[in-house]
Amino acid sequence: MKPNLINIKTAEVIFANQEKGGNLLYERIAVEGIMWTLLTACMQSGKTGAAIHLCEKLYEDGFKFLFFGPSDNALKNQTLERLRKHPKVSMNLLGSKVWHAADIYSRGVAYEELCRHIGDAKKLGLKVLVIFDEAHIGIGAKSREDMQKIPEFLRDICECLPGSEGADKNMHMLLVSATPFTYDVFQNKWGEFSEVYLENGENYIGLKELMMDGRLLPHIRRSIPAHIKGKERTKYKKAQDRVFVKRLSALISTYAPRGYFVTRCTVSSEEKLFRDACTMAGVKLRVFESKNSNILEFEKTLWEPPTEPTVLLVKRSYKQGKTLCLDNIAAWYENDTRSGRHDADMAQSVGRVLGYHKDKNHEFPIFCDVESIESMAEYYEACARGDFDSKRQKPHSSTHTKHKITMVPLRQTHWALSEEAAIESYKNLMPNHTDMKPNRSTVSKINSYDALDALINSNIRQSTNERVNFYYVDSPSKHPSSAETFVSNPHRIFKWGFVVDTEQEEMQVKTTDKSFLSHLEVSSG
């Protein structure tokens, strides 16, 4: 048989880790028939290659493919070029192209074309794999009815909205993200997704390697204490800006003579601060942003060594998907903001310096939120161990998911058979509280909450050093759940309970999720 010279010439290598990841995904989707699968991986570790391998296997099962991702034409074209090297995939793309979020947002000709292709596939009863790259983007919702365009599209057109009931069984979905924190929150609650972690391949430089090599350095903090308000806040801000410009200028002066000093500005109004720092350092500044139609020049610029000390300032771009030349970089600076950058934003930005270049021996420092990046390294380590439960417990923030973290004293409930015994126990536990005055309450008279449940879980009203609350568990109150709690805990009836703070602390996390996932009503299991 005459060899297919075109395929031989253009075939793209699928590496061992991508093949393994693709095979695992195939098991979940084709063999187990799972509707929604989440592919988590470190930035620049080969997610697209794993998805391609998966599609080549699904080709044999008669699948069609719908690729879509962020509103980035360069990334869209890059992905399409890669897919064209794999005929089994490219010949089975819906619409023979890669789609991106802008096609959905526009509701224009491209959107109508995409809807037509999906509709035709549904009419023919074809199996379709929807691949949502950078699946953490554009998934917000104010309510089940008022969603952002992407989840609305997945619900109304594809009929494969993740986690939803009544989805089209022929529409499977692969969610791809290095920072799937919103999905982690949902998974903790409902457990609707299957998850696969793409292992790093050989020669990969990731967050762990950056830590071990000492390349992560703290950026210049910009936050203003909450208690500073009004005119004092304005005065504080101006003084802080002067310090920031001076310190940034010193960094630029140190590193720019060695190569490009790359920095990112996520707040447009703060561009002036970077300009002032460059002026103070006597260093050339080049700004790249989409609205100036020069953002693609950033990638090209990095390939050529600078002819003079130069700062490259990127505004609101190159946060995901892009592989950059790092050979001519002397320092990478991720700016802080006064409101703070969330973990996903910081991780995706730092992720541009990761990838398969261990042989390059890059040594340039990365100035960033070191604590956030180190926590992300632990996140991926948990994934690599297959410990998805542990990684989901890590409260990482994103555009749609925020966490308020506070450290509170670890509390413990103690029980006694009598009031006298309870007071004596407290004195033994807290010998310094010699002036303590006991305050007695009976559970049956507390109707505003389930007092016994609160007492068992150490959530009862806090005592002070001078006034300590002792509770007598006599009978249920009028609170709706009180009777059930009593039935479930007969060994606590007719006893006295009190709560003390231990010398230890525990982390309490209050999560606010504004994604479409928070409005889904599904049943676990």
Place 462 in a pLDDT band, splitting at 50, 70 and 90.
low
**pLDDT of the residue at 86:** 95
Residue 499 in this model has a pLDDT that exceeds 70: yes
278 near 285, Cβ under 8 Å? Answer: yes
512 near 400, Cβ under 8 Å? Answer: no
Backbone angles phi, psi at 138, to 5 degrees: 70, 35
Taking residues 206-235, what's their average pLDDT? 92
354 near 319, Cβ under 8 Å? Answer: no
Where is average pLDDT lowest: 171-175, 214-218, 326-330, 390-394? Answer: 390-394
Place 506 in a pLDDT band, splitting at 50, 70 and 90.
confident
Place 3 in a pLDDT band, splitting at 50, 70 and 90.
very low
Residue 473 in this model has a pLDDT that exceeds 90: yes
Verdict on whether the full-model pTM lies above 0.95: no
Distance separating alpha carbons of residues 235 and 243, to the nearest angstrom: 13
CATH topology of domain 207-399: Rossmann fold (3.40.50)
Q: What contacts 152, CB < 8 A, 6 or more positions away?
A: none
Q: What is the tens place of the pLDDT at every residue in 406-425?
A: 777 788 999 999 999 999 99
CB count within 10 Å of CB 224 equals: 14
Taking residues 79-89, what's their average pLDDT? 92
Q: In what order do the strands lie in the sheet with 329-334?
A: 216-218, 366-368, 329-334, 260-265, 310-315, 284-288
342 near 403, Cβ under 8 Å? Answer: no
**pLDDT of the residue at 438:** 92
207 alpha carbon, distance to own chain's centre: 15
CB count within 10 Å of CB 295 equals: 18
Strand partners, 355: 205
Burial 55-81 (b: 16+ CB within 10 A, else e): bbbbbeeebbbbbbbbbbeebbebbbe
460 alpha carbon, distance to own chain's centre: 34
**pLDDT of the residue at 467:** 87
Taking residues 37-57, what's their average pLDDT? 95
Taking residues 147-165, what's their average pLDDT? 92
73 near 55, Cβ under 8 Å? Answer: no
Q: What is the DSSP string of 264-316?
A: EESSGGGHHHHHHHHHHHT-EEEEE-GGGT-HHHHHHHTTS--SS-EEEEEES
CA angle 309, 312, 315 (to 5 degrees): 160
Taking residues 264-278, what's their average pLDDT? 92
Packing angle between helix 73-83 and helix 47-59, nearest 10 degrees?
Answer: 40
Beta strands in 156-219 (DSSP E): 171-177, 194-198, 216-218
Residue 79 in this model has a pLDDT that exceeds 60: yes
Distance separating alpha carbons of residues 341 and 396, to the nearest angstrom: 11
Where is average pLDDT lowest: 5-14, 31-40, 174-183, 400-409? Answer: 5-14
Q: What is the DSSP letter of 97?
A: S
The conformational region for residue 95 under phi > 0 = left, psi -120 to 50 = alpha, else beta, is: left
Place 522 in a pLDDT band, splitting at 50, 70 and 90.
low
Same topology for domains 5-202 and 207-399, yes or no?
A: yes
Q: What is the tens place of the pLDDT at every residue in 358-374?
A: 989 999 999 999 999 99
At 506, the amino acid letter reads E
Distance separating alpha carbons of residues 443 and 479, to the nearest angstrom: 10
* Residue the block writes with tokens 């005592």: 463
3-class SS shares of the chain: helix, strand, coil, % to 5: 40, 20, 35
Residue 1 in this model has a pLDDT that exceeds 50: no
Q: How far is CA 129 from CA 56, 65, 92, 171, 321, in A?
A: 12, 5, 11, 6, 20
**pLDDT of the residue at 192:** 81
111 near 77, Cβ under 8 Å? Answer: no
Residue 8 in this model has a pLDDT that exceeds 60: no
Residue 501 in this model has a pLDDT that exceeds 90: no
Element (H, E) at 262: strand 260-265
* Domain 5-202 annotated CATH 3.40.50.300: yes
Q: Greater confidence, 465 or 173? A: 173
Tokens of residue 9, six digits: 């010439």
Query: Helix count (H) and strand count (E) of the chain?
Result: 19, 16
Can you give the residue ranges of every domain in the chain? 5-202, 207-399, 404-512
* Residue the block writes with tokens 């309490």: 508
